[in-house]
């Protein structure tokens, strides 16, 4: 499983959906090796189809001529009614489709997409303060048990 750790820091995740992704064989092998990068990636609806842009899947070392462009746009697989529902949700101001993780479900690769709203700087600071306070509470609870 490959996580987009920065997504939950940069965005409020309102809802998540699962989508299939169209990949070549060498890309799947590269993902099994953990060689994917989510930096600046997002999903977009074009002509009633869903595409993932900005996902970098490194070239497979033994792939030679079968390797594809690492930064190409990849088609996501969802039912039409799900895509139209997502289009309506994303049409709201400030909402976007951000990939949260890539994982295997049996032999297939799936993408978890989040319908996200961007955080402001003060929201990020509040999250850091809350996380530090939670860590401090857990630390004190652990110390008191022993």
In this prediction the pTM is 0.77
CA distances, 45 to each of 29, 52, 64, 83 (Å): 27, 9, 32, 8
Query: Any idea how long the chain is?
Result: 146
Residue 146: pLDDT band with limits 50, 70, 90: low
CATH node for 2-118: 2.40.280.10
Q: Per-domain residue ranges for the chain?
A: 2-118
Q: State pLDDT tens for residues 37-69.
A: 888 888 989 888 999 998 888 887 777 777 777
Q: State pLDDT tens for residues 61-98.
A: 777 777 777 778 889 999 999 999 888 888 878 788 99
pLDDT for position 120: 82
Token code pair at residue 59: 């070239």
- What does the mean pLDDT of the chain come to? 86
């Amino acid at each position: 499983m490959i996580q987009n750790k920065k997504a939950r820091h940069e965005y409020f995740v309102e809802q998540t959906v699962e989508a299939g992704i169209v990949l070549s064989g060498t890309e799947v092998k590269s993902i099994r090796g953990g060689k994917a990068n989510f930096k600046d990636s997002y999903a977009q609806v074009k002509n009633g189809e869903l595409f993932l842009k900005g996902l970098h899947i490194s070239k497979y070392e033994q792939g030679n001529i079968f390797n594809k462009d690492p930064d190409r746009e990849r088609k996501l697989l969802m039912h039409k009614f799900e895509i139209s529902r997502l289009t309506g949700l994303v049409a709201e101001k400030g909402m976007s489709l951000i990939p949260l993780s890539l994982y295997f479900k049996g032999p297939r690769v799936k993408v978890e997409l989040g319908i996200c709203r961007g955080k402001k700087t003060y929201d990020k600071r509040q999250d850091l303060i809350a996380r530090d306070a939670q860590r401090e509470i857990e630390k004190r609870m652990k110390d008191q048990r022993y």
